Amino acid sequence: MTRSQICFALTLVAAFVDSPIQAGTETRDYVVFVNGKEAGQSTITIVESNDGKTYMKGTVSVKVSGIVFPYTFTSETQEWWLKDRLTNLVAVTTENGKKTEVSAKAEVDRVLVSVNGQARAVSWEVWTSSFWKLADRRFHNKEVPVLEPDSGKDMVAKLDYIGAEKQKIGGQLEDCYHFRVNGIPSPTDLWFDRHHRLVRQEFTEKNQKTIVQLMSRKS
């Protein structure tokens, strides 16, 4: 093993050390920027239990004024997890007036997903593209199945670790872990804090650069 390989391995070990999370409730508020302008807000509330169960409720509202047509997007997503496995999901999304309802329920060896009443099965290891929590370490630098709560689409992505970087949270610089999700229609950069929860998200879709930035958190 070369010196650079050793350094890279040590960096990964440091990044993947879990910081314990106490049972309780946490709320995180984000601002959404599109092409450098504030275009919306997002809030997630996370309820952690001592038995390994986690509940997340997320809302997002975005409005972009266009030359011809404005773009509007609102969504409310609820996710239930048992450790690192998705057990249930309910999402209602309205994009430019079109409503989509998605639900998901874990079975023994699969997750049954319903989109506007049409059901199909996806991988039981699925990670959601709400990206509010980092995928389990067994997927780091490997392929990971992904489910989009707003559309119900599923795909296989590659989760690449980029490195440790500083991010500003509420006026303070904190060490964060930078990952990139490749192999999806809009490759996405993600930054997670020491609790492996989302701090920042960046992606470009239809020539629109979007940034979701954590502004405050409270528990």
Task: Over range 57-63, report the average pLDDT.
Answer: 98
Question: What's the token pair of residue 4?
Answer: 């650079």
* pLDDT at residue 171, rounded to an integer: 84
Task: Over range 66-88, report the average pLDDT.
Answer: 92
3 state SS of 8: helix
* pLDDT at residue 21, rounded to an integer: 58
pLDDT digits (tens, 9 = 90+) for 176-210: 999 999 999 999 999 999 999 999 999 999 889 99
Q: Where are the domains of the chain?
A: 24-218
Count the alpha carbons within 13 Å of 159 in the hemisphere toward its beta carbon.
24
Q: Which fold has domain 24-218?
A: YmcC-like fold (2.40.360)
How does residue 4 score in pLDDT terms, banded at 50, 70 and 90? Answer: very low
Instruction: Please say if the pLDDT value at position 10 is more than 90.
Output: no
Nearest to residue 119, comparing CAs of 106, 99, 102, 107? 102
* pLDDT at residue 175, rounded to an integer: 96
Task: Over range 104-111, report the average pLDDT.
Answer: 96
Instruction: Please say if the pLDDT value at position 20 is more than 70.
Output: no
Mean pLDDT of the chain: 90
Residues 189, 178: Cα–Cα separation, whole Å: 7
Question: What's the token pair of residue 43?
Answer: 């809030």
Instruction: Please say if the pLDDT value at position 88 is more than 80.
Output: yes
* pLDDT at residue 206, rounded to an integer: 83
| 3-state SS track over 86-133 | EEEEEEEEEECCEEEEEEEEECCCCEEEEECCEEEEECCCCEECCCCE
